[in-house]
Each structure stands twice: as structure tokens, then as C-alpha cells.
Amino acid sequence: MAKNGAETGRLSLVFMFLFFSSCSCTGNEFELLLSIKSSMNDPLQSLSNWNLSLPFCQWKGIACDNSSHVAKIELSGKNLSGKIPESIFHLPYIETIDLSSNQLFGEIPINFPSCLSLRYLNLSNNNFTGPLPKGSNSQLQVLDLSDNMLSDKIPEEIGLFSGLEYLDLGGNVLMGIIPKSLSNITGLQFLTLAANQLIGEIPRELSMLKSLKWIYLGHNNLSGGIPIDIGEITSLNHLDLVNNSLTGEIPSSLGNLINLQYLFLYLNKLTGPIPRTIFSLKNLISLDLSENFLAGEIPELLNQLQNLEILQLFSNNFTGKIPNAITSLPHLQVLQLWSNKFSGKIPKDLGKRNNLTVLDLSTNNLTGKIPESVCGSGQLFKLILFSNSIEGQIPKSLSNCKSLKRVRLQNNQLSGELS
Ligand SMILES: *[C@@H]1O[C@H](CO)[C@@H](O)[C@H](O)[C@H]1NC(C)=O
Ligand SMILES: *[C@@H]1O[C@H](CO)[C@@H](O)[C@H](O)[C@H]1NC(C)=O
Ligand SMILES: *[C@@H]1O[C@H](CO)[C@@H](O)[C@H](O)[C@H]1NC(C)=O
Ligand SMILES: *[C@@H]1O[C@H](CO)[C@@H](O)[C@H](O)[C@H]1NC(C)=O
Ligand SMILES: *[C@@H]1O[C@H](CO)[C@@H](O)[C@H](O)[C@H]1NC(C)=O
Ligand SMILES: *[C@@H]1O[C@H](CO)[C@@H](O)[C@H](O)[C@H]1NC(C)=O
Ligand SMILES: *[C@@H]1O[C@H](CO)[C@@H](O)[C@H](O)[C@H]1NC(C)=O
Ligand SMILES: *[C@@H]1O[C@H](CO)[C@@H](O)[C@H](O)[C@H]1NC(C)=O
Ligand SMILES: *[C@@H]1O[C@H](CO)[C@@H](O)[C@H](O)[C@H]1NC(C)=O
Ligand SMILES: *[C@@H]1O[C@H](CO)[C@@H](O)[C@H](O)[C@H]1NC(C)=O
Ligand SMILES: *[C@@H]1O[C@H](CO)[C@@H](O)[C@H](O)[C@H]1NC(C)=O
């Protein structure tokens, strides 16, 4: 008897589970769609043909699969306003929902049914408020909720969206720490939590995400050091930790990130030198370490960064000469070294083999002359050298530099003028 009772109890549990999981994922698609329409304000009449005169597979913004079930709702940028009804997540065969760039508001229905076939959800650029949706959907691959007004903490349960490849929660008002459970999402390639109000340290567990290509955590209030373990994510292409309160030195392990093209650490409180390993990142296109407390010299090893287009080191405490190696970087377009303590002469051939558009070396302790070839690219439009000890004649070649729009040379020992 006792055994039987337990059996029955277990069966009814199974039954309840089946009942709940299936009930939330079925429904009359036609009626679900009409309820979605009725909950939205549609000033551009984008939903005007959502009516009985047409089968719903032909309604604007709807795409069906080959069994005539609704597979996609794509209504981006249609000025739709109103709330998003929970029923949208009850469409049993839905794979793609794109309602980005509208004026939808209210909370995002909080509990995703786990049986949902949804792969792609883009609600970015609306006016959604409230917390992030919870759930445990392992099929979802793309979740873009960026540029809304979502608040509260990022729940630890975010790790249950274990199938995500793309997660963008940037541009909201999320608070609290970055949950370690993100490290459960092992296929994640793109992670943006930028422009929120996150605090605490960058979890070293992120290094378990070996497929990550992009990490954007900028414009928060993250503190502590840059985890050494980030150097293990060798698939990384973009690493952006700008405008936080990060302290300590740049870990030399970042030199292992052989695929890195963009390294942005500006506006933090980083100290110490640039580790020499950084100069082995041969694929770097843009390196921005400006507005920190970095010091030391820039080594001639810089010549290894032959793909570099942008080098921003302004507002730090760098000393020593500007390395001659800089003249050998053929793609270099933007060089901003202002407000440091660089001394010695400006490399004589600067601009000759570079592709300079912006050169700002102001407020340093530079001597010597303005290089004859500084406008060698014919593209130079900004030349800012004020507050140094640069001397000699302003080169004639500058007068022929037709691209030049903005020049500041004051507070040096220059003679002659631009004609
Ligand atoms: C129904 O949709 C058709 C287009 O298929 C449109 O011409 C018609 O005005 C719509 N009817 C209503 C009542 O919105
Ligand atoms: C219908 O779609 C399913 C998957 O959605 C696919 O496996 C199947 O091959 C398709 N059938 C036809 C006839 O296209
Ligand atoms: C969409 O809405 C915005 C803001 O309400 C408005 O400025 C814009 O003109 C609208 N666009 C169209 C095409 O009506
Ligand atoms: C989401 O939609 C926005 C605006 O329509 C678009 O720019 C963005 O690329 C989309 N996100 C993804 C992951 O496709
Ligand atoms: C959306 O938010 C913006 C900025 O806060 C506001 O100007 C706009 O009126 C809001 N729109 C709606 C439909 O709530
Ligand atoms: C993360 O994964 C671990 C082990 O795989 C599991 O124990 C834990 O519950 C998961 N946490 C979340 C929040 O997904
Ligand atoms: C840095 O982030 C704060 C918010 O955290 C923002 O107000 C400020 O504009 C950002 N500064 C820059 C230069 O992006
Ligand atoms: C950032 O966090 C620090 C504490 O870590 C705090 O003192 C500071 O006020 C915060 N800054 C902002 C802009 O919230
Ligand atoms: C540069 O170093 C001096 C001391 O050597 C220090 O007072 C100053 O705050 C530092 N400035 C920056 C921007 O790191
Ligand atoms: C130089 O810069 C221009 C754009 O300003 C670009 O079109 C060109 O490809 C660059 N050349 C080299 C060698 O990088
Ligand atoms: C600038 O260089 C001069 C000598 O060339 C030196 O006397 C002075 O201390 C230096 N200033 C700084 C801020 O390094």
C-alpha cells in the first residue's frame, strides 16, 4: 500500500510537470497573435493586415515554418508601443522574436517557459523596465536586451541560459556584481554588460568561456584588478574594460591573447608599465590605454605591432623617448600621446611611412624639430604639439598639407609660421 501510494504520488508529480510544461507552450496561434496585436499601439499600421482576410503566415512581420506554424516575428523599428504580452512566448513553434527599436515598455514577461523553441530574442532599444527575465531555456542562442531601462541585479540564474552564444545586456541600469554563473554558458562568444551600474570585481571564472571573442564591460564601476586568467581566453578579439575603477597593473598574461585586435582599457586607475608581452600582440589594430596612471617607457618592440592603426596613451605618466619604431608602422593613423612626460626628439621620420590623420603630442617635454614628413600621408588633419620644447622652423611642407584642419603649436620655441 505504502509503495503504491508513493508510486501514485510520483506519477501525479510527473503528470503535473507535463501539464505545466506543455500548457505554457501550446495555444491557438491565431488567437495568440491577435492578442499580441491588441496589446500594442501601432501608429504606422504595421499590423493592419493581421486580420481574418489573410492566413497568418502572410501577415506582415510573420514567417512560418514549412508546417505553417509561426516561426518568426520580425517587427523591428515599427514605432510599436505598449507592453509585450506574455502570450508571445506561448507560440509553440516560435524561433525568432525581433521587436527591437520600438517604444515598448513595462516588464519583460518574467518566466520563460523552458520548453520554448525560441533561439533568437531581440528586444533591444525599447523602454523596458524591471528585472531581467528568469528561466532556464537552454535553446536560446541570442539574447539582446540592450538599450532599455532594465534594473535590479543580474540574477545568478542567468547561467541557466546555457545555450547562449550572444548575450547583450548593455545600456541598462543593472546593478550589483557580475554573476560567476556566466561561466556556465560555455558556448558564449559575445558578452556585453557595458554601460550599466555594475560593481565588484571581474570574475576570474570568465576565463572558463573559451569561445569568447568579445568582452565589453566598459562604463560600469568595476573595481579590483584585471584577472590574470583573462589571458587564457585565446579566442578573444575585443577586450573592452574602459571607464571603470580598475586598479593594479595590466597583467602580462594578456600577451597570450594572440587573436586580440582591440584592447581598450582607458579611463581606469591602472598603474605600472605596459607589460612587454603586449608588444607581441601582432594582430592589434587599436590600443587605447589612455587616462590611467601608467608609467615607464615605450620599448622599440612596438615595431612588432605592424597592424596598429590607433595608439592612444594620453594622460598617463609615460617617460623616455617616443620610440623610433613608431615610424615603421604603415597603418598608423591616430597617435595621441598628450599629457605624459615624454622627452627627447620627435622621431625624424614620423609621418613618412605612416598613414597619420591625427597627431597629438601636446603637454610633454619633447625637443627637436617638427618632422619634415609629418604630413607624408597627405591625410593629416589634426596636428597638436603645444606645450613642449620643440624648436626650429615650422617646416614648409606643412604649408602644403591641404588636409590640415586644426593646428596648435603654441608654447614651444618655434619660429616661422604656417602660410
Ligand atoms: C485586413 O487586411 C487587409 C489586407 O490584407 C486590409 O486591406 C483590410 O483593410 C484589413 N481589414 C481590417 C478590418 O483591418
Ligand atoms: C521542414 O522543416 C524541418 C525543420 O524545421 C526540416 O527538417 C524539414 O526538412 C523541412 N521539410 C521540408 C519539406 O522542407
Ligand atoms: C516614431 O516615433 C518617434 C517618437 O515617438 C517619432 O519621432 C517618429 O516620427 C515616429 N516615426 C514615424 C515614421 O512615424
Ligand atoms: C538587435 O536589433 C538591433 C536593432 O534593430 C540590431 O542593431 C542588433 O544587431 C540586433 N542584435 C542582434 C544580436 O542581432
Ligand atoms: C522611452 O524613454 C524615453 C527616454 O527615457 C522617453 O523620452 C520616451 O518618452 C519613452 N517612450 C515611451 C513610449 O515610454
Ligand atoms: C552552473 O554549473 C554547475 C555545474 O555544471 C551547476 O552546479 C550550477 O548549478 C550551475 N549554475 C547555474 C546558475 O547555472
Ligand atoms: C564613464 O561612465 C559614466 C557612467 O558610469 C558616464 O557618465 C561617463 O560619461 C563615462 N565617461 C566616458 C568618457 O565615457
Ligand atoms: C564606484 O565605486 C566606488 C567604490 O568601489 C565608489 O567609491 C564610487 O563612488 C563609485 N563611483 C560611482 C560613479 O558610482
Ligand atoms: C604621475 O606621477 C606623479 C609622481 O611621480 C604623481 O604625482 C601623478 O599623480 C602621476 N600622474 C598620473 C596621471 O599618473
Ligand atoms: C590609410 O588610411 C586611409 C583612410 O584614412 C585608408 O583608406 C588607407 O587604406 C590607409 N592606408 C594604409 C596603408 O593603411
Ligand atoms: C623637461 O626637460 C628639462 C630638460 O630638457 C628638464 O629640466 C625638466 O625637468 C623636464 N621636465 C619634466 C616635467 O620632466
Report the predicted TM-score, pTM, of the whole model to 2 decimal places.
0.89
326 burial class (0-12, 13-18, 19+ CB within 10 angstroms)? buried
* Residue 137 confidence (pLDDT): 81
Q: Alpha-carbon distance 274 to 55, whole Å?
A: 63
pLDDT digits (tens, 9 = 90+) for 175-226: 999 999 999 999 999 999 999 999 999 999 999 999 999 999 999 999 999 9
pLDDT band at 174 (very low <50, low <70, confident <90, very high): very high
Residue 66 Cα: closest atom of ligand 2: 1
**Residue bearing cell 592603426:** 309
Pair 352, 329: CB distance under 8 Å: no
Q: Which residue type, as a one-letter code, is found at position 26?
A: T
- Three-class SS of residue 82? strand
Q: Which residue type, as a one-letter code, is found at position 274?
A: I
pLDDT digits (tens, 9 = 90+) for 66-104: 999 999 999 999 999 999 888 888 888 999 999 999 999
Q: Is the CB of 200 inside a 6 Å radius of any atom of ligand 10?
A: no
Share of the chain above pLDDT 90, in %: 83
Reference 267, options 309, 315, 226, 231; nearest CA is: 315
Mean pLDDT in residue range 271-287: 98
Mean pLDDT in residue range 3-7: 43
What is the tally of structural domains in the chain? 1
- pLDDT, the chain, mean: 91
Residue 330 Cα: closest atom of ligand 10: 13
Strand (E) positions, 75-172? 81-83, 96-98, 103-107, 120-122, 127-130, 142-144, 149-153, 166-168
Residue 128 in this model has a pLDDT that exceeds 70: yes
Residue 109 in this model has a pLDDT that exceeds 90: no
Which residue's alpha carbon is at the smallest distance from atom 7 of ligand 9?
317
- Three-class SS of residue 343? strand
Supply φ then ψ for residue 4, to 5 degrees. Answer: -60, -40
Question: For residue 155, what are the domain limits?
Answer: 2-415
Mean pLDDT in residue range 215-243: 98
Mean pLDDT in residue range 163-170: 97
Q: 47, 48, 56: which to mutate for ligand 1, most atoms within 8 A of CB?
A: 48
State the distance from the centre of ligand 5 to the C-alpha of 126, rounded, in angstroms.
Answer: 8
Residue 242 in this model has a pLDDT that exceeds 90: yes
For residue 188, give the CATH number of its domain. Answer: 3.80.10.10
Residue 43 in this model has a pLDDT that exceeds 90: yes
- Buried-state track 162-185, b at ≥16 Cβ within 10 A, e below 16: bbbbbbbbbbbebeeebbebbbbb
